[in-house]
Structure 1
Amino acid sequence: MLKEKQRIPLKIKRMGINGEGIGFYKKTLVFVPGALKGEEVFCQVTAVKRNFVQAKLLKINKPSKFRVEPACAIYEECGGCQLMHLRYDKQLEHKDDIIRQALKKFKPAGYENYEIRPTLGMDKPQHYRAKLQFQTRSFGGSVKAGLYAEGSHRLVEIKDCYVQDQLTQDIINKVTQLLDKYKIPIYNERKIAGVRTVMIRKGQATNQVQLIVISSRELHLTKFIKELTATFPEIKTVAFNLNRSKTSEIYGEQTEILWGQESIEESVLDYSFALSPRAFYQLNPEQTQVLYDQARQALDVSENDHIIDAYCGVGTIGFAFAGQVKSVRGMDIIPEAIEDAKKNSLAMGFDNTYYEAGKAEDIIPKWYEEGYRADGVIVDPPRTGLDDKLLDTLLTYKPKKMVYVSCNTSTLARDLVKLSKVYEVDYIQSVDMFPHTARTEAVVRLQKKEC
């Protein structure tokens, strides 16, 4: 039996879904973050579980020929990226394997024969994140912004992120200076109410920026906003979100525009659209072009098709089809996103779209009761995957084709267990939306089985 703090040599046989190295020590499974397939390492056990142990890397006795020096100075401390020590082409291969591992774990029908297409990567996999969501804390009277270290509430200050868009990084650096300068209260988990989080998003096509200050109390931000917007004319919107809860939820219910316009403009494929501050949009604009093009190819619509865009956000995926089909209908639980979708559709001149705020599992049955019938469905759920009720709804009405866009291979594989009872999985196309992390996005083409 292995014990905590025990030091052991280990040969890394493969890599896991979180980017960690995996080996066996006397038939015991050992997970070692930072180790790569093929390496011989020396590590120390940090936790003993029922069927495996966790260990930290102490020394690499035989490095992988694919190991590289991480380009980020705080890579190991931050934990936001997990694969920066692996050469990029091998990162892409690993993401193919992440999908295979998830399928093998959940075993949807016929998974051994699914076509897993090679992950589509980036030519320049750096500074790709057009959105940041940094926590703020005060240390020794100085405000710092960054991310929590993995598995903790210890803030790691980030002033120069290798994967973050440079303008958004420059703005958050200025934000921390101004929060200090104007003595704006900063949140403390024990007793102090104030700024908890700052969200900054840039429209890649327009260079327009929006910013949300999330706070646990009302704030006076007039001087802060005046100096910030004077320094960065790219900022078009400053909003405020009040979140008094003690939970880990980032946002409270209401978001108020304090300064500027209600939305910023962004473009993808051959169309433009507006984004309000709370509306969801992919954080890697360059790869979003690739992702949406893959979704468009996978659904393979015709001019008489009626399409449902579940989890539609501001309508972006659905707009890729609106000019080619009879109708597109979408829903989302965020009312501001639905208002954006309606405005965007009107601005683009579509008269065949309809959007409604609410849950897909509630709205789709209502539409069917009213006589609407969908030929195809696009689902792009959050990391938690499809709601069980929505899965049951889809399997009840059985539209003839579906595209599942997933940002979590585990919940995708889980959902395919049910979907594969009714649908054939034609292929899975992975798109690297998150270089240097152990996450990938996948587009799955599904066709209803012949009776």
Structure 2
Amino acid sequence: MPLQGETRLLRARGVNSEGDGLCDCDDGLVVFVPMMLPGEEALVRLVKVKRSYGIGKVLESKAVSPERVTPFCPWFGKCGGCRLQHGSYSLQLEIKEGLLLDAMMRLGGFLRENIPLRPCVPSPRQRHYRNKASFPIQSFRGVVTPGFFQRDSHHLIPVDRCPLIDPSLEELMKVFRETLPTLSLRAYDERSQRGSLRHVLLRKGSHSGQGAVLLVLKERPSSALFDELRVFARKTRARFPLFSSWAINIHPDPGNVIIGSRTLPLSGAPYIEERLGKYVFRMDLTAFFQVNSSQAENLYESVKASLGQEEKGDILELYSGVGSLTAYLASTGRRVTAVESWEPSSRSLEHNMKSNAVKNVSVFRGRAEDYCSTGVLPPFRTVVLDPPRSGSTPEVIAAISRLSPLEILYISCNPATLARDLRSFVDTGYRLISLTPFDLFPQTAHVETLAILKRTR
């Protein structure tokens, strides 16, 4: 067993889900080394050694990958967002295919020859693709400051730009950096739980152009502070007229969850709209929506194509959000039951189906678990689910298996929980037909996946 502080010559055989190089010591210890790309060799100091793994730091590069490129963001390596910006885009796609494959084998127990992996679908844009950005707020050198967290910490990096977000979000971020210190708002402190302003969330419809601002506060502001924030919103809207929707979200509980359950309108409409294909979707400022609109269109079109226009039988869609995928499912002409638990999103879902003249959709307001426990469910030929990063639950997976649909389409943003859940479906009589990664998050180690399963018995 190597000791902490030792120096070893290591070669990276791959990259893990955090974007770190995967290296093997002679005695079998796996060492994670930030900034190393597959095939690179370096002199590495072991800065941490545990029983099952180690963490290293590059002291001197010995062999450099031909796919290594110069990062275009000055904060790369400090900010915790991007993890693969030092690799060419073609290499990033290969890495994401490898991450998915590794999760399926290591965590899902699938044999390589039984994994129908397809090439990763590239994003139409590799920069300025994000339609949303959430900036944590801290007191930095005594000044209320927005930024991003340093990797693996809650230490704030006061960035002044981000080349992944929409350019107009970058410009608006600069206004907040200049103006927040002048307002009667104290930055929230996680340790003491004092202060008020926790996050500033900016979002924009990449195709609609509509923008929104959400201020996340620990408690409801006083009437004087509310008026002050309303004035700030009015002045900022004059400079950025497309950002017409402003609201305050109240989040009193400690923890890493960004959004609370109460939202107060501050200025303008309490929603924005975004266009995907021929559809226009209204969303509450707290609602989930894919951050890469152009690639979301590609994903949804792929889902639609996999269903086929000639197929018959109803569709059950779980974790439906505001209905962006729902509309594509319904365009096949089949009846869709859409299930969504977040109240603002379920309201938007119903509105969006009406406003887009989608008539073959019924909405169930509640958790997927609630719907699955309502009793004897009607037969569904197809079940589509797009759960959060934590994946689906055993209750939902068991209910789907009891329904025994002919096909299951599973969209996931987390290969680890996807592999776990796919194993459960396969063990109950399904066969994995295709596994297609989509790069919705260029420059990061995140990967979206569309998995299609068919019933075998």
* TM-score, normalising length: structure 2: 0.94
Which stretch shows the higher mean deviation, 202-211 or 316-325? 316-325
Aligned-residue offset at 1:229: 1.3
Matches within 5 A, 1:21-420: 21-27=21-27, 28-108=29-109, 112-189=113-190, 190-219=192-221, 220=225, 221-300=229-308, 302=310, 304-366=312-374, 369=376, 372-420=378-426
- Check conservation: 1:75, 1:81, Cα contact below 8 A: yes
Aligned-residue offset at 1:111: 5.3
Aligned-residue offset at 1:108: 4.4
Aligned-residue offset at 1:212: 0.8
- Check conservation: 1:17, 1:101, Cα contact below 8 A: no
Aligned-residue offset at 1:182: 2.3
Taking the aligned partners of 1:126 and 1:448, their CA distance within structure 2 comes to 40
- Check conservation: 1:193, 1:217, Cα contact below 8 A: no
Secondary structure of 2:345 counterpart: helix
Which runs of 5 or more structure 2 residues have no equivalent in the other structure?
none
Which stretch shows the higher mean deviation, 44-53 or 330-339? 44-53
Cα distance, 1:109–1:39 mapped onto 2, change above 3 Å = closer
- Check conservation: 2:411, 2:448, Cα contact below 8 A: yes
* TM-score, normalising length: structure 1: 0.96
Secondary structure of 2:379 counterpart: coil
Matched to 2:166, the amino acid is D
Secondary structure of 2:119 counterpart: strand
- Check conservation: 1:307, 1:329, Cα contact below 8 A: yes
Taking the aligned partners of 1:301 and 1:379, their CA distance within structure 2 comes to 19
Matched to 2:200, the amino acid is V
The number of equivalent residue pairs is 448
Matched to 2:209, the amino acid is N
1:239-261: CA deviation from partner (whole Å, max 9, x where unpaired): 11111112222122111222111
Matched to 1:253, the amino acid is S
Match of 1:447 in 2: 454
Aligned-residue offset at 1:48: 1.0
Equivalent position to 2:442, from 435, 438, 448: 435
Aligned-residue offset at 1:42: 1.1
Cα distance, 1:423–1:303 mapped onto 2, change above 3 Å = closer
Which stretch shows the higher mean deviation, 329-338 or 173-182? 173-182
Matched to 1:417, the amino acid is R
1:321-374: CA deviation from partner (whole Å, max 9, x where unpaired): 2132331111122000000000011111222211122111221342x62x5221
Matched to 1:157, the amino acid is P
- Check conservation: 1:195, 1:215, Cα contact below 8 A: yes
Q: CA RMSD in A?
A: 1.6
Matched to 1:154, the amino acid is H
Matched to 2:398, the amino acid is D
Aligned-residue offset at 1:110: 5.5
- Check conservation: 1:378, 1:402, Cα contact below 8 A: yes
Aligned-residue offset at 1:425: 0.9
Matched to 1:423, the amino acid is Y
Cα distance, 1:70–1:26 mapped onto 2, change above 3 Å = same
Matched to 1:214, the amino acid is V
Match of 1:15 in 2: 15
Which runs of 5 or more structure 1 residues have no equivalent in the other structure?
none
- Check conservation: 1:108, 1:416, Cα contact below 8 A: no
- Check conservation: 2:404, 2:455, Cα contact below 8 A: yes
1:215-243: CA deviation from partner (whole Å, max 9, x where unpaired): 11233212221212112101121111111
Taking the aligned partners of 1:24 and 1:413, their CA distance within structure 2 comes to 24
Cα distance, 1:166–1:33 mapped onto 2, change above 3 Å = same
Secondary structure of 1:392 counterpart: helix
Aligned-residue offset at 1:149: 1.0
Taking the aligned partners of 1:182 and 1:21, their CA distance within structure 2 comes to 44
Taking the aligned partners of 2:311 and 2:104, their CA distance within structure 1 comes to 34
Taking the aligned partners of 2:80 and 2:186, their CA distance within structure 1 comes to 27
Secondary structure of 1:117 counterpart: coil
1:25-60: CA deviation from partner (whole Å, max 9, x where unpaired): 222221111111111101111211112211112221
Taking the aligned partners of 1:118 and 1:249, their CA distance within structure 2 comes to 33
Matched to 1:222, the amino acid is R
Taking the aligned partners of 1:123 and 1:326, their CA distance within structure 2 comes to 30
